[in-house]
Every structure is written in structure tokens, then in C-alpha cells.
Amino acid sequence: CLADLRITDPRDDKTRIEETKGNLLKDSYCWILEHADFQTWRNDPQCRLLWITGDPGKGKTMLLCGIINELEEFAAYHLSYFFCQATETGLQSATAVLRGLIYSLVIQQPSLISHVQEKHGPAGKALFEDRNAWTALSKILKSILNDPSLKDVVLLIDALDECTEELPRLLHLIKEISSASYAKWIVSSRNWPIIEYEFENFKQSIRLRLESNEAYVSAAVQNYIHYKVNLLAQKHGYTDIIRETTEQHLVSQANNTFLWAALVCQSLNNIRSGRVLDKLQSYPQGLNSLYERMVDQILKLVEDYDVLLCKQVLTMVSTVYRPVTLHELHSLIGYPKEFSEDISSFAEIIRLCGSFLTIRGNTIYFVHQSAKDYLTTDKVWSTISASSPSDIHYTIFSQSLQSMYNTLRRDIYCLGTPGYHVDEIQLYNPDPLIAVRYSCVYWIDHLCDCDIGHNPRDALQVGGLVDMFLRHHFLHWLEALSLLRYMPEGILAIARITDLLEASFHNQIHQVLSLVQDAGRFISRHIEAIESTPLQVYVSALIFSPLQSEIRKIFKDEEPSWMLLKPAVEAGWGPCLRTLEGHYDSVNSVVFSPDGQQLASGSRNGIVRVCAAKSGSCIQPLECDNSVLSVAFSPDGQQFASGSADGIVKVWDIKSTYLQTLEGHTNPVLSVIFLPDNQQLASGSSDDTIKVWDIKLGICLRTLKGHDNSIHSVSACPNSRRLASGSSDQTIKIWDIKLGTCLQTLMDHDGPVLSVAYSPDGQQLVSGSEDDTVRVWDAELGACLHILKGHTLWVKSVVFSPDGKQLASGSEDTTVRVWDIKSAADLQTLECDEDDVFSVIFSPNGQLLASSSYDDTIRIWDVKSGSCQQILEGLDYLKNLAVFSHDSQRLASGSDDGTIKVWDVKSGNCLQTFPDSWPGGDIAFDATDDSHLITDLGVLKINAPIIKTPPDVLSGDTDFHHYSINSNGTWITKDDEPLVWLPQEYRSDASAVFGATVAIGCISDRVLVMRFS
């Protein structure tokens, strides 16, 4: 448990930082211990947060190291600290901060591990690593801080500005804990507006500005310089005059900046005593001026070849998305060849790059964040590179492809066995992927970040770099991504390059676009198999791809030769992009986040799942505990309402979560909707009433009575104060909201009205009924404009298209029909196989339609062509409405098992799952901030992390010999070892094995026969 939690040992980080910066000098930090602000923080129980701010190089980190040393001398304190480092992979996220703080506390007081074990037991290491880790870790930290055995806790975080991932969440948590517990905080940061916004007016904090304490900082820098010069004098035998002159000069030029003094002293470390005074004159005042001199030194190197290499190194290291290793950088530069065997020789080139870079453990880092900031300014960039940043991106992209082209191959780790699970693989030494790890993950990102439109290179052309790489190494690349644990990033990468090709579309790249789209279908369909067992990319992924798949045809020779008879599969990909698994009970609702980047689905067993757009993996589930039957966003997207089976309506504010509980209904609330002014809410219930609520006051303004049965649907007119309701009493009523009077009763239906919806302009109303018809009404006059016939059973859902020109209806006759409003023509009839359609909804762009059926699927349709674009499966007991995001890229589904899933429409990936404990929960997203997911419990932060859900490779109780199907139907095995992964739709309802022939009767009604050698 503790090993899984550990991402770093902050004690070791502190030691390393002190050594890197030249050891901690007490005379450089002791001033702060007597400072009035520090004493106030220390002695005033109401002052919980000391916030130290200053510009780069002012010594904030060493101040915190000194404070830690001081506080550690007092046994009463339980001290926990973390050093954020933007240039250190894994130390720049808010989640990493929490892991470090918790680890430090547990190390000091082992009994606290119980707070971690409680959550860790069922989840394992994924608890700390998936994108829901923040929620779990913040709860653990708060639980630990409330432990009665823990007193006088001090939490320290250095360099908040270097927390580059989820900083706002960390700032909010610091304030929350400061207000709710006795723990105290000390944090440091640059003078950043985002941090100032959170802390400036926080009453329980005090800010210590280094710029306002210039005298103290100046004295501290002088003490530091005195110490460093004495070390230089001892090493090089300075005379008293040289020592004193050096010290005086550095003090006068340092501008109270530790980093400047440290860099100059580092440079003087290699200068003989006799040259020191002359050398001093070459160091300019100020940090940027010193950086400028360092660049000049590089440009004046004796060998032009060295100058060229240093420039390349600096531009590459400034452009990459994470710190790279010596091997990775060598492969990105592509030369010099003389360094290819001896990487330590290549390290000498790094050391020629002035004091900008440092090497730790074969990984290259900037000596300070300000060094990278300086190099990437326009003026300096033009000095070190004749190429634009865009051109450097292209260079990294093209060199990445070249390196992978020369490295990747089938079974690169020599696993041999096609069912070898990725978790069982031992790292090779030397690792054949060591030089291309970065390239495998980021090559497409660099392509997308370069300006292809102004680049004459033909990367995207037929026969170009992308085309040739995919045709020769696509499967090898997927194998490598699996070995590196980066398969979800592969889906994201293919989606990005697809978007790039579509945006750059012209005739010369049509074939490449087709190939990339096919590659996207391939990886989306087979990610579950490849992610867990890398070599299944050559087995299951190929043989279960359609016969006309371009990828399958290109790599036909890679198909297993030991499979003599391959399964009969479809010719083309068909409408289903991917089958989404993960729910284990009914899905009640699906909904997209407003920007379309995520999709949520809710299930009856209380699980809510959210998936990050196009990632392909679900995160750890979150839990809710009440049955929500209806949800709605306010028009401005700032509030969210839920109606429950207990008759309660809850309103949530997106930013501050819980807002109001509205009680008054005596039966379940079946429909809720905000009115256009964002101030009022209407709810319809099975108690036969509609209530209009004042949200701010939390009171019922009026109760609309007149229906004789349950109100199933309530719709607000977008541009007026009218409300429409549909009821089981077979009527539609139009209400004046202000007066509370019924303006119209529309009674033409011959059965209960199951669904009503206003047109976008509010001029028309559509209704669906148990009389099998759809009716279009004049919303003002109450006249029936059209009776749309064609359905043969109840019409359960109706909806207008966003432009108001079409409407869609879903029926128990298993069809969805698309109608033209003006002509009343049936434009499309969409067949949904064998089960009722109970919900339909248009995407905001009007191009897609989502339908939910009782066969526990959601189908996504192309409205114009009538083709099914995707089938989302594995949603047991699906119910209620599927909802698109505003940009039409995501969908959310809810099910009766209480789970909510968020799906990516394009890739078919489940982005996240939330488990709850209530039957029948809906889910929705804030219309302006897709990072929040709303449930009846409130607003949940959507982290959309990546969870690997590997198949149960070795499950099964029986020892089979030769060929068989394992007990859960996921594998064909040979001698009880996994051989062929079976996708969801090809799993067994019944199977028979005769010798080397395996026959499978599939859940999807197919029969597969495979014969092996």
C-alpha cells in the first residue's frame, strides 16, 4: 500500500535540491524565522496559511528548506512537505502533491496508514494513478488530518506556480483544509494572478512578499555570496584581495537574486585564481543579462559543430512536452553518429550548453524554470535557432518517425506467447525502446503543433511520412504503446491526426485520411485486447477486423499462420465504432458535457462513469446514493436541477455545488426544467401537479393543477413565459407561468401523452402518445398542425432538431423516425433491431441523433444519411434520456443500475464511470464548464483519468488441455494458456471444441468456427 502511494520521498527531494543549489546556508534564511509575519503564523491559531511570494531566483525554495529544518527541531510538530517541480515528470501535478504529503505523514506516524488502506484495498495502485485519484487522495488527506492522534500538523508546498496540472483544485483544497481543520500551511510561489486570486482575500492567511523585504533578502544574498566565495577561495587559493574584490563585485551585481549568484559562482568554479578579476567583468547584472551572456558563450564556442549541436539541444529541450533522456534526445537530433554507441560522450554536448541544463539520472532538465522561459522568448529564440518553433515541432515529428522506423518491429520484447499479459513483462536491459519512448507517445502531437499549412513538406500526402509509417509500422507502434502503458494516448493521437487531415482536406490526402480513419476504427475496436496483451494486435485485432479494413489488408501477412481457418467476419466496419463495456446493471441516462469532450453514463447500481474524450478507458467509479429521474441545466449553464423518486427537487450551483432543496411534491418528480430567466424552475410529478419554484428563495410560487394523471414531460417555451406539459391523462396543457392559469388543453390524442417538446423558436409544440402518433401544434393557438403517422406502437420520445426544421420520434415499434416539419414527410426510418426506443435526442449541430433502446444500447445516427454511426453496448437496463454535449462530440447515458457513463462519440470510448447506490440515476454537465458532473448529491469534479481494465487472462477453475474457451468467455486458450482474445460481440453463449477446431455460438447471434494447426 505504501509502495503504491509513494511517487517520491520528499525528504530525498529536499536533500537533492539543497545539494543541487549548493547546500543550505543558515545565514541565508534565519531572517525569516524572526520576521513578524512568520511569528504571526506561528503563534496565532487563526492564521493558518503563510504564503511566501517572490520573483524567480529570489530563494523561495531555500527559505522553505530552512523553515523545514527549523520546525523539525521541535518534536511537537508533524511536518509534511512537497517540492513542486515543473521540469520533473511526476512532480508537477496536484495529485502528486497530495501523494507526497500523505506519504510523509504516514512515514512519520505509521498508524495513519489505516486511512489509506481503507480506500486502497479494493482499488490497488489505480487509486493513486487514475484521473479520479484527486478525489480519493483529498478525502484520505482530510481523513488523516482529522485523526485525533495527529496534533500540530504543518504542511509545506514549495513552488505552487510549478504545479502545472490542476493547480486551481489544489489552491481550493488548501483553503478548505485551512478553514476546516487545525492544520497549518506554508506555501511559496511566484507572483501569479491565479494564485493571488485564490489567496489574496483569504482571511486566515498572511502573505510575506520578498519584494517588500528587500533589506532581509539583500542581507541573505550577501551571506550566501560570502559563503560561496570562501569556498572558491579555498579551492583556487585566492589572495585576500581577490576574495574580497570578488565578493564585493558579486554583491553589487546580484540584484538580490540567489540564482544569479549561484550561476556565476558555478562558472567561476572552473576559473584559475589569476583570471578571476578579469572574468568578473564579463558577468552582467541581472538574471536575464546573465542568461544572455550564457547564450553568447555558446555562440562563441571554438568548434562550429559544437555551436550547432548546442543550438539544436536547446531548441529541442525547449520544445518537447516533457524532460527527455539522453537516449531520447540523441534519437530526436539524429546525429552525431560518433555518439551513438557512447551516450556519455553525447552528455558532454549537454554540458556545453552553459548553465541552462543539468543532467540527473540520464534525464535532461532545465536548471530553473526561468531558464526555459528566457530561451523561449521571441528575441532569444531567433538567436539560437534559424527555425521557427513550428519548424522545430516538424523536425521532432519527422525525426521521431525515422527513429521509430529504424527501431520498431514485431515482438520487440521477444515475448513469444500471444497471450502474454503486459503486467507480467519484465523490462529488458538494454531496453530496445529506450530511445523511442518519447517518440512513440508524442510524434503526432508535434505534427499537429507545427504549421502544416505553411510547410512545403508533404507529411500528409500519399506516400508521405505519415502514410508510409502507418503502412509499415502501425501494428508495431500499437504494440510499443501497449508495452509503454500508453494505449489510450494512441486513440487520442489518431483522433488528433484525423482532425488535422479533415481540416487540411484536399484530393492528395484523401487516401491517407481513409487509412487514418480505418486505423482509428481498428484501435478503438481492439484497444481492450491490445492494451492488456500487446501481441494480440497481430492476432485478435487482425482476425476480428472486417475483411475490407485497410489495416487488415495491409498487414495480412502478419495474421497468425497457426490459425488455419479464420472466423467469418463482416466485410466492412459497419456502424458500430466501439462497444462500450463497464456497466453491470441498467443504464438510465447518458449525457455529453457542453464542450463535447466527455460523456457520462449512469446505471442502476449507483455507478457513475465519466470518460475523457477519445481516451478509450474508464476511470475508477464514483458513487451516489439516490434515485434521480430527471435532470436539467439552466439556460446559462450555471445551475443544475434534479428531480427524484422521493418527490424532492434539488438545485445545484456549478461553482459552489449544493444550493437548494425544494420539497412539496408528494410523488416522484418525473420532469424538471429551468425557465428562461434562470431564476425559476418547473417540476412535473406523478402527483398530477406542476410546481413553479423560486430558486433563490427556495419556495414554491404556484402549483399548476388540471391534469388527471402523472405529468411525464414539462417543456418551457424559449422566448415566452409559457410552459407545456404532457400527461398520462392523454392531454397536453399550455400554461401561463406568471398567472398559473391553463391557456390551452390539447386533447386530440387517443392515448396518454408520453413526451412533449417545444421548437427552438417556441412557436410550435410536438407531442408523442400511446396512440402511436406524433402531433405538431401551434403553440400560440393550440391548433394541431400535423398528425404524423407511421409508428405502429407507442411514441415514447419526441424532439425538435436545433434549427426547428425537423423532428425525431422514438417508438416501441423499435424505430426512430425523422420528420420534415413543413411537409410532414417521413424523411428517415431508422431500425433499432428488436427493442423499444424510449428516448431520442438531436446533437446540438443537428447532424447526429442518439436513440436509447430497451436492448440496453444507445445508437448514434447520421441524420442526413440515416446510417448508424455507433452502437454503445453493455448498458444493462438502460433507461431515460441520452444527452449530447453542446459540440456534439460526447454523449452521456444513465441506467437502472445507478451508473452513469460518459462516452466519446467519435471513438466510442467510455471516458469515465460513476458508480452510485441509487436505482435509476441521471447525469448532466454544466453548460459552460465540462469539468463538473452533476448528480443528486451535487457537483462532482470530472477528472477523466485513464484506467486500464485488462481482461481476466487467467480466470477459470478448470484445467483444459489443448484448445478451449476460458470460463468467462474472453479467451480461446491452448493448454490453459490464453491464445486468442474474443471481443465482446464474439463471446460465447455456447461452444464446442473438437481437436483443433473451436466453434462458438455468439451472444451476437453469430456462429464462429476457427481451426488451428
pLDDT digits (tens, 9 = 90+) for 246-281: 988 888 888 778 878 888 888 888 788 888 888 888
Cα gap 243→142, rounded to integer Å: 53
Contacts for 315 with CB less than 8 Å, ≥ 6 apart: 381, 384, 385, 387, 392
Residue 814 has pLDDT above 60, yes or no: yes
Cα gap 729→839, rounded to integer Å: 20
Residue 482 has pLDDT above 90, yes or no: yes
Instruction: For residue 848, give the amino acid letter.
Output: L
What is the pTM (predicted TM-score) of this model?
A: 0.58
Contacts for 734 with CB less than 8 Å, ≥ 6 apart: 722, 723, 724, 742, 743, 744, 745, 746, 765, 779, 782
Looking at per-residue pLDDT, the higher value among 90 and 193 belongs to 193
Report residue 579's pLDDT band, with 50, 70 and 90 as the boundaries.
low
Cell numbers standing for residue 776: 405538431
3-class SS of residue 862: strand
Report residue 808's pLDDT band, with 50, 70 and 90 as the boundaries.
very high
What is the pLDDT averaged over residues 837-857?
A: 83
Out of 78-82, 153-157, 765-769, 1003-1007, pick the least confident.
Answer: 1003-1007
Q: pLDDT averaged over the chain?
A: 81
What is the pLDDT averaged over residues 949-962?
A: 36
Residue 612 has pLDDT above 50, yes or no: no
H or E stretch at 788: strand 784-788
Looking at per-residue pLDDT, the higher value among 475 and 599 belongs to 475
What per-residue confidence (pLDDT) applies to 915? 61
What is the pLDDT averaged over residues 204-230?
A: 88
What per-residue confidence (pLDDT) applies to 409? 96
Cell numbers standing for residue 537: 494486435
With vertex at residue 352, the alpha carbon angle to CA 347 and CA 358, rounded to the nearest 5 degrees, is 60
Count of residues in the chain: 1013
What per-residue confidence (pLDDT) applies to 952? 33
Residue 330 has pLDDT above 50, yes or no: yes
Cα gap 662→703, rounded to integer Å: 13
Contacts for 748 with CB less than 8 Å, ≥ 6 apart: 775, 784, 787
71-78 — which CB contacts under 8 Å span 24+ positions?
71/154, 76/151, 76/152, 77/152, 77/153, 77/154, 78/105, 78/108, 78/109, 78/150, 78/151, 78/152, 78/153, 78/154
What is the pLDDT averaged over residues 338-342?
A: 56
Side-chain-facing half-sphere of 550: CA atoms under 13 Å: 17
Alpha helices in 866-906 (DSSP H): none
Asked whether the beta carbons of 978 and 954 are under 8 A apart, the reply is yes
Q: Estimate to the nearest angstrom the gap between the alpha carbon of 443 and the chain centroid.
A: 19
Asked whether the beta carbons of 855 and 838 are under 8 A apart, the reply is no
Cell numbers standing for residue 404: 521509430
Cα gap 928→921, rounded to integer Å: 22
- Cβ density class 942-959: b for 16+ within 10 Å, e for less: bbbbbbbeebebeebeee
Residues 507-557: pLDDT tens digits? 678 889 999 999 999 998 898 899 999 999 999 999 999 999 999 999 999
Looking at per-residue pLDDT, the higher value among 583 and 446 belongs to 446
- Cβ density class 322-348: b for 16+ within 10 Å, e for less: ebbbbbbbbbbbeeeeebeeebeebbe
Report residue 329's pLDDT band, with 50, 70 and 90 as the boundaries.
very high
What per-residue confidence (pLDDT) applies to 878? 52
Residue 558 has pLDDT above 90, yes or no: yes
Among 269, 192, 275, 199, smallest CA distance to 228 is for: 269
Asked whether the beta carbons of 497 and 516 are under 8 A apart, the reply is yes
Contacts for 278 with CB less than 8 Å, ≥ 6 apart: none
What is the pLDDT averaged over residues 699-718?
A: 87
Cell numbers standing for residue 969: 468467455
Residue 336 has pLDDT above 60, yes or no: no
Residue 854 has pLDDT above 60, yes or no: yes
What per-residue confidence (pLDDT) applies to 441? 94
Kindly report the number of other CB atoms within 10 A of residue 709's CB atom. Answer: 14
Percent of the chain with pLDDT over 70: 82
DSSP 8-state secondary structure symbol assigned to residue 674? E
Residue 996 has pLDDT above 50, yes or no: yes
Asked whether the beta carbons of 725 and 756 are under 8 A apart, the reply is yes
Residue 634 has pLDDT above 80, yes or no: no
Residue 597 has pLDDT above 60, yes or no: no
* Highest-confidence segment of 263-272, 580-589, 593-602: 263-272
What is the pLDDT averaged over residues 206-210?
A: 92
Rounded to a whole number of angstroms, the CA Rg of the chain reads 32
Looking at per-residue pLDDT, the higher value among 24 and 315 belongs to 315
Phi, psi at 591, each rounded to 5°: -155, 140
Looking at per-residue pLDDT, the higher value among 89 and 33 belongs to 33
What per-residue confidence (pLDDT) applies to 937? 34
| DSSP secondary structure of 201-261 | T-TTEEEEEGGGGHHHHHHHHHHHHHHHHHHHHHHHT--HHHHHHHHHHHHHHSTT-HHHH
Residues 661-696: pLDDT tens digits? 889 999 988 888 888 888 899 999 999 999 999 988
Out of 101-115, 397-411, 762-776, pick the least confident.
Answer: 762-776
Cell numbers standing for residue 338: 560518433
- Cβ density class 744-758: b for 16+ within 10 Å, e for less: bebebbeebbbbbbb
Cα gap 551→475, rounded to integer Å: 9
Report residue 306's pLDDT band, with 50, 70 and 90 as the boundaries.
confident
Cell numbers standing for residue 926: 454544466
What per-residue confidence (pLDDT) applies to 960? 36
What per-residue confidence (pLDDT) applies to 489? 85
Residue 228 has pLDDT above 80, yes or no: yes
What is the pLDDT averaged over residues 708-727?
A: 83
Classify strands 628-633 and 924-925 as parallel, antiparallel or unpaired: unpaired
- Cβ density class 164-191: b for 16+ within 10 Å, e for less: eebbebbbebbbebbeebebbbbbbbbe
What is the pLDDT averaged over residues 748-765?
A: 78
Cα gap 392→398, rounded to integer Å: 10
Looking at per-residue pLDDT, the higher value among 663 and 655 belongs to 663
What is the pLDDT averaged over residues 551-577?
A: 87
DSSP 8-state secondary structure symbol assigned to residue 200? T
Cell numbers standing for residue 481: 504503446
Report residue 302's pLDDT band, with 50, 70 and 90 as the boundaries.
confident
SS3 string, 327-377, reads HHHHHHHCCCHHHCCCHHHHHHHHHCCCCCEEEECCEEEECCHHHHHHHCC
By CB atoms closer than 10 A (0-12, 13-18, 19+), residue 743 is middle
What per-residue confidence (pLDDT) applies to 345? 73
Report residue 559's pLDDT band, with 50, 70 and 90 as the boundaries.
very high
What per-residue confidence (pLDDT) applies to 956? 29
Classify strands 78-83 and 153-158 as parallel, antiparallel or unpaired: parallel
Instruction: For residue 87, give the amino acid letter.
Output: T
